[in-house]
Amino acid sequence: MCAPVLHCYADYKWTGPSEPVAQLCRELTRLGWRSDLACTRPPRPAEGPLGARARDMGLRVFDEFRFDSSRNIWRNCRDVRRLRELISQGDYRIVHCHGTWDHVLAAVAAAPHRERIPLVRSDHRARRYGRGPLSRLLLGPRMTDHLIVLTDACAADAVERLRLAPGSVTTVRGAVDCDEFRPTDAPAGLREELGLAAGDVVFGVVSRIQRHRRFDVLLKAARIIQRRDGRVKIAVCGRGTHRRELLYDPVARMGLEDTVIPLGYRRGDYRDVLTAFDAGAMLVPGSDGSCRAALQMAAMGKPLVVARRGALPDVVEDGRTGVVVRDTPENLAEAILGMAADAEARRRMGEAARRRMCGEFSLPVQARRVAEVYRRLLGAP
């Protein structure tokens, strides 16, 4: 049994969380669950690639919404009326929300139809839930018929803290395009262009440069690594308004210019840059709790050193596809040095990481698991 679904997401940018939403809609449509996308109107047409790229993917898009979480009653009422029109006039059997404010407004709009049109919420952040009444209101049965989370730990936490019935929460892991991100050699001359020597063992860090991303711990670990093995390099790929304060200035002050290589934000050559890494590292998930960059590196056969935070211990099987550590500088340095010293172990763990991504974290697998939730909600066998 397949039926049309209206997906709601309060953004207009092509970001870490929004790309997986569009990819999920495409994969569900391929399975027969036509998935239309209601998203936010960009302030200027040139700044809104989510709607445009979703259309390029073959999706029907309604990008006239504001989903304004400020106290703009007019905009919110207009969004509710438009959502109610779509739900009433369309043939949707499910409404699936991916953010907080689109969820709030969709719940109001869909309230008259909840007996026949269930409301699903995907939480794209691997987080602890609050025990207060607001959390239970937003994610509980009054506004949500089914909650999809990223890890089994999140599901258990939702049952305990939000007092949800176990059958109303499902774990659906993040996903990566295993055809786009696959093992391949770096283009000729790229490593040299990035300032990397032939004998270097390069650990890639793909992350926005933000205060909460623990760059202080990374740099302290880099200082330990520098003293013990000059071949090991940490290449940081990302941007952020505090990059000078958190990365550039400390690297210079600590004398780490030969060990920590800032690569800046990569757009057109992003995937090529990933091929130049021998392994990856990640300490803190970003706005996309599925840790998309970690999934991409793993799909390319890169073993990972990760912290025991968020979904990262679920992405990496400790000792098999990488190493999971309690991220003190000392622990992080030891894990990176150990992996750098054993090329055969890196190869073995990288191959296992690739197999796991294809088997458990691929886009078709994710879509099939979401479709199972839909079937249960609609009472299909």
| Per-residue model confidence as pLDDT tens digits over 289-299 | 999 999 999 99
By the 10 Å C-beta count (0-12 exposed, 13-18 middle, 19+ buried), 174 is classed as buried
pLDDT tens digits, 312-325:
999 999 999 999 99
Q: Categorize the per-residue pLDDT at 167 as very low, low, confident or very high, splitting at 50, 70 and 90.
A: very high
The domains of the chain are located at 5-175+362-377, 190-360
Q: Enumerate the β-bridge partners of residue 35.
A: 5
Dihedrals phi, psi of 309, to nearest 5 degrees: -140, 140
Task: State mean pLDDT over 341-363.
Answer: 98
Q: What's the rounded Cα separation, in Å, for the pair 236 and 264?
A: 7
Residue written as tokens 């996903």? Answer: 175
Question: Is the pLDDT at 1 greater than 90, yes or no?
Answer: no
Q: What is the DSSP letter of 233?
A: E
Q: Which has the higher per-residue pLDDT, 338 or 45? A: 338
Q: Categorize the per-residue pLDDT at 23 as very low, low, confident or very high, splitting at 50, 70 and 90.
A: very high
Question: Is the pLDDT at 57 greater than 80, yes or no?
Answer: yes
H-type alpha helices, 98-132: 100-110
| CA–CA distances in Å: residue 48 to residues 41, 97, 318, 327 | 7, 20, 39, 37
- Measured over the CA atoms of residue 222, residue 224, residue 229 and residue 230, the dihedral's sign is positive
Q: Which fold would CATH assign to domain 190-360?
A: Rossmann fold (3.40.50)
Which region holds residue 255: left if phi is over 0, alpha if psi is between -120 and 50, else beta? left
Q: What's the rounded Cα separation, in Å, for the pair 52 and 35?
A: 16
Dihedrals phi, psi of 49, to nearest 5 degrees: -75, -15
Q: What's the rounded Cα separation, in Å, for the pair 336 and 376?
A: 44
pLDDT tens digits, 244-274:
999 999 999 999 999 999 999 998 899 999 9
Dihedrals phi, psi of 192, to nearest 5 degrees: -65, -40
Q: What is the DSSP letter of 59?
A: -
Q: Which fold would CATH assign to domain 5-175+362-377?
A: Rossmann fold (3.40.50)
Question: Is the pLDDT at 144 greater than 90, yes or no?
Answer: yes
pLDDT tens digits, 118-127:
999 999 998 8
Q: What's the rounded Cα separation, in Å, for the pair 325 and 309?
A: 9
- 5-175+362-377 and 190-360 share one CATH topology? yes
Residue 176, both tokens: 């990566």
Q: Enumerate the β-bridge partners of residue 316.
A: none
